[in-house]
Structure 1
Amino acid sequence: METLKVVIADDDHPSRMILKHFLDLFIDYRIVGEAEDGKELIELILHKKPDIALVDINMPGLNGLEAVKICKEKAPQLQVIFTTGFDEFAAEAFDVSAADYVIKPIERTRLFLALEKARKGFEVAKQSVMKSHNANQKIAVKSYNTLLYLVVDEILFIEKKARKTVIHTTDHCYETTETLQEIEETLPSYFYKTHRSFIVNLKKITRIEASGETYLAYFAKCSKVAYISKLKIYNVQSLLVN
């Protein structure tokens, strides 16, 4: 399990000591900094880039709620657990997408549950960022005297044809002299070599049909097909459902 970085923001020293003691018992969480007010918390977020922040609300100067609003603008993936002696701020806390709201005195089990909730929120946020990145990611491909920049997520499959390599999208085909292996090295993990002459975007497959000694991969809103060898079909089926 990935170890997540945690910061603690609380103006009360004994409260920070209690949180540090509990966090030392949880091996999947590592403290990377402490703050005594909202301003220090913002500086910690910028410099330490934690995954989770344990934040008291009533702090001098900039309070916890105000600081978290600023922190969320700078670090949207940050998961916040408010730790406070008052319950009247719960609605405001969840307005800033807090992972949890824990009332003092804090118990170890309650803190652990809050951390696990924050972990799930962090993983969802991380996946969302990765999907957004993949959707806009481009690769550079040489095509005769032109350098093409193709959006990775629009590629259905890449096919080797004689001495050329053809990259297929829903509406276009792009020829290149680069080899399948050279292109494969630039692609994310959801592209898979299904046949000695085909690399396929597994995310785009809508169905697979047997055709003699081989299999055909079909794609949405497209008449093009890619080949899957008999030796690779079980691997492909496994990857599609996992």
Structure 2
Amino acid sequence: MNDLKVLIADDDAVSRAILRNFIRLFPNYDVVAEAATGEELLQLVFEKQPDIVLVDIGMPGLDGIEAVKLCRQSLPDVQVIFTTGYDEFAVKAFELSAADYIVKPIERTRLFQALEKARKFIEIARHPVVSMKSDKRLEIRSKHSIVWLPLEDVLFVEKENRKTIIHTADEQYETTTPLNDIEKRLTDCFLKTHRSYIINLKKVVKIVQIGETYAAHFFGCEKVAYISKLKFHEVQQKMSTIHL
């Protein structure tokens, strides 16, 4: 992949300089422009077509949140990393599918982690995962039986104490096979979203925030599967690339 184009938007010149100097130390990233206002950000996004924008939320006039909403209208695939002096805007950032959210003062390592996360999302978008083959089956061994379950029927897999439970719309299948071993047999449409859950992203119909975690709902199933806060953005990004 070629160097990724980065645009910095912050009304504070010192903050822009810090970000610019940090990014110069990282390979594969190129700062192509800087904006001091939300209005400038809009214009430069249109002109430069960046891959990643670093946006300060608290800019005067058109703030970072509103500016990003407008930027996405002309460049929907741009990856956004919000920067701010406060953590109170985290939920709004999540709602905009931001790649990351960094609280100032920004450390070099933390910035690099955020940029690498954005790079990963870009790679997923440019090289979509292969859709699941309908003829692939999951072998489920229990004490008295072996079941060969079509993967397209699996909604999610759950770890419960020492058991692993495979959920479909109509049935539940129990096995002593560890969750991590089950994960190795699944296709790219499945994602481990929590230490106790693997979800078939093709089957998710709704995600609801519950405190610090998120609940995934499935058609025809009353039970839900959980998504950790750390995995929420990856779920959103991967959902957008899967052929539904």
Tell me which residue corresponds to 2:76: 76
* Post-superposition offset of 1:126: 2.2
| Secondary structure, counterpart of 2:127 in structure 1 | helix
Give the alignment of 1:40-119 within 5 angstroms: 40-119=40-119
Tell me which residue corresponds to 1:17: 17
| Secondary structure, counterpart of 2:93 in structure 1 | helix
Tell me which residue corresponds to 1:34: 34
Equivalent pairs counted in the alignment come to 130
Q: CA–CA distance in 1 between the matches of 2:126 and 2:74? A: 15
RMSD: 1.5
Q: CA–CA distance in 2 between the matches of 1:75 and 1:25? A: 27
List per-residue Cα deviations over 1:37-86 (Å, max 9, x = no partner). Answer: 11110111100000000000000110000000111121111000001101
- Extract unaligned runs of 5+ from structure 1: 132-242
Tell me which residue corresponds to 1:201: none
Q: TM-score, normalised by structure 1?
A: 0.52
Q: CA–CA distance in 2 between the matches of 1:29 and 1:90? A: 25
Amino acid across the alignment from 2:116: E
Q: CA–CA distance in 2 between the matches of 1:77 and 1:17? A: 26
Tell me which residue corresponds to 1:127: 127
How high is the sequence identity, in percent, across the aligned residues? Answer: 61
Q: TM-score, normalised by structure 2?
A: 0.52
- Extract unaligned runs of 5+ from structure 2: 131-244
Larger Rg: 1
- Residues 77, 126 of structure 1: 8 Å contact kept: no
Q: CA–CA distance in 2 between the matches of 1:127 and 1:75? A: 18
List per-residue Cα deviations over 1:198-242 (Å, max 9, x = no partner). Answer: xxxxxxxxxxxxxxxxxxxxxxxxxxxxxxxxxxxxxxxxxxxxx
Amino acid across the alignment from 2:4: L
Tell me which residue corresponds to 1:180: none
Q: CA–CA distance in 2 between the matches of 1:28 and 1:40? A: 25
| Secondary structure, counterpart of 2:33 in structure 1 | strand
Q: Which structure has the higher relative contact order (CA within 8 Å, separation 6+)? A: 2
* Post-superposition offset of 1:27: 2.0
Q: CA–CA distance in 2 between the matches of 1:95 and 1:78? A: 15
